[in-house]
Amino acid sequence: MIRAALIFCTLIGIWQGVIWLTALPPFLLPAPRAVAGALWSHRAELGAASLRTGAETILGFALGAVIGIGLALLMAASAFVARWIRPVVVISQTIPIFALAPILTLWLGYGMAPKLAVVALISFFPIAGALYDGLQRVPAARLDLAQVMGAGGGVTLFRIRLPSALPDLASGLRLAAVLAPVGAVIGEWVGGSQGLGAVMLHANGRMRIDLVFASLALVVALSLAFQALVSRGLAARLERFAG
């Protein structure tokens, strides 16, 4: 906690120092105090936008987790399925998300759906990858026992392999939690009128750099909070369960 506060103060100090040294005009780099002022004077707008982006992050992440876990289980259940799904999954990650987001908006409209799709698209991959690896690396002694005991493939998958792979799922969730808020902001940036990404886009167009920075600060705060929530609330529990 003390370290976090120190890092925060140091970064603010460097920021203020750059302004003193370079005397950059406020429309290029606003001072920390100006950003704090924008945060306060636009608190209603920014609060609503944060709620919106937060909701997109949580829902999109949940959707991505369901898809990622489902894909990993499917691939682990059948080597045949894995051979066909793996390339598709990899291809899905080669598409630049900034290029795809406008197309998703075109298809799904200006509401929340395309944002959820973007968040799910970038968060499912680390979850599916980590869980699939974990399902393939279960201690051999456990698998031997299950087979000698006469357990079928499905029972072994859900009762032995999945619980054994929960720590791997936890690291996938942690990684995806870092990416999810970025996905929400990208989705808002390319199409939409709500959320922090939309606020940033409009403020940028009106040269309100202080408001851009204020939104940016909220994105960072939201990302850190979401990461902490997933890491401590979810991932740590999974790790503790799997012992």
Partner 1 sequence: MNGPLILEGEACLAGARLFPPLRLTLQPGKWLTLLGPSGVGKTTLLRLIAGLPVAAEFRGQITGARPAALMAQDPGLLPWATVAQNITLGPRLRGTRPDQARLQAILDQTGLADHAQKRPAQLSGGQRQRAALARALMEDRPLFLLDEPFSALDIALRHRMQDLTASLLRDHMVLMISHDPAEAARLSDHIYVLTRAGLQQVSPPADDGRLRPRPLDGPDTRRCEAELIALLMAAT
Residue 151 C-beta: closest distance to partner 1, Å:
4
Of 108 and 242, the one with the shorter C-beta distance to partner 1 is: 242
Work out whether 242 is an interface residue with partner 1 (CB under 8 A).
yes
Task: Choose between 51 and 151: whose C-beta lies nearer to partner 1.
Answer: 151
> Which residue of 32, 70, 142, 202 would you call a contact of partner 1, by CB under 8 A?
142
- Residue 234 touching partner 1 (CB under 8 A): no
CB-wise, 154 or 205, nearer to partner 1?
Answer: 154
Among 139, 220, 224, 237, binds partner 1 (CB under 8 A): 139
- Amino acid making up residue 76: A
Contacts with partner 1 by CB under 8 A lie at: 139, 141-142, 144-151, 155-156, 159-160, 163-164, 241-243
